[in-house]
Amino acid sequence: MAGHNKWSKIKRKKAVNDARRGAQFTKIIREITVAAREGGGDPEYNPRLRLAIDTAKAASMPSENIERAIKKGTGELEGVDYIETTYEGYGPGGVALFIECLTDNTNRTVADIRHALTKQGGSLGTDGSVAWQFDRKGQIVIDANRYTEDAVFEAAIEAGAEDVTRDGDEFIVTCEVSDFTAVQDGIRAAGIEFSSAELTRIPKSEVRVEGKDAEKLLKLLEMLEDLDDVQKVHSNADIDEAVLAETM
């Protein structure tokens, strides 16, 4: 998961350093709205909404924005009817890409994604062409400077996590999707706060990407994630450390 986690770490820093909070809010609001529409407006009984609200709070989103998004989802306020859709493709170096979207216009979304892929030497694939290369998991990130490895490992495993790994200054807790809420609750109960929690797609194996291909891939990932309709981009890239460092 090295390349996947390093890119995720860069994204979190860029969200602050590049002043991309407005775009981040747009994506979170869409997720809250859809979560409320699909499972109701009470986060206690809607794990997806609970996660979206936690993500919003971690991003310092005002509470009135959160409430408004929930009401749009439940129909108390007029809102846009977003469609959940995914696209699969390939990036420079043969990297597999799985792209999750929330959109009100799939024609626009696929055109924007195809444009970004083509511009950076990638291509759009068919449904199922790369999905098999990923496992859907829950992933929780914890600041390694605040807690010991033993404390995190014990809390996570007791709560039902599959694995705990260290990536630099972060602990990465991985679990099955069905255990995601229980693992978060168990970690909180142990007095441990986490930096982020998400349902993600972890590559079963990675493709090493270096040099020009790595540079193009990073540009492509940023182009895709800057699209309003794109919620998440997953890749199986193990990106060259030197190229990653240049993006910081």
Backbone angles phi, psi at 33, to 5 degrees: -60, -45
Q: Which CATH number fits domain 2-74: 2.30.29.30, 1.10.287.4070, 3.40.50.720, 1.10.10.200?
A: 1.10.10.200
Superfamily for 134-203? Answer: YebC, transcriptional regulation domain (3.30.70.980)
pTM: 0.88
* Per-domain residue ranges of the chain: 2-74, 83-132+205-247, 134-203
**Mean pLDDT in residue range 198-216:** 92
Is 1.10.40.30 the CATH number for 83-132+205-247? no
Distance CA 149, CA 143 (A): 10
**pLDDT, tens digit, 9 for 90 and up, residues 152-173:** 999 999 999 999 999 888 999 9
Tell me if 85 sits within 8 A of 106, measured CB to CB: yes
Distance CA 248, CA 231 (A): 22
Given a cut of 80, whether residue 143 has pLDDT beyond it is yes
**pLDDT, tens digit, 9 for 90 and up, residues 89-131:** 999 999 999 999 999 999 999 999 999 999 999 999 999 999 9
Domains 2-74 and 83-132+205-247 share a fold: no
Given a cut of 80, whether residue 20 has pLDDT beyond it is no
The DSSP secondary-structure symbol of 15 reads: H
For residue 193, give the 3-state DSSP assignment. coil
Return the minimum-mean-pLDDT range out of 21-25, 195-199, 212-216: 21-25
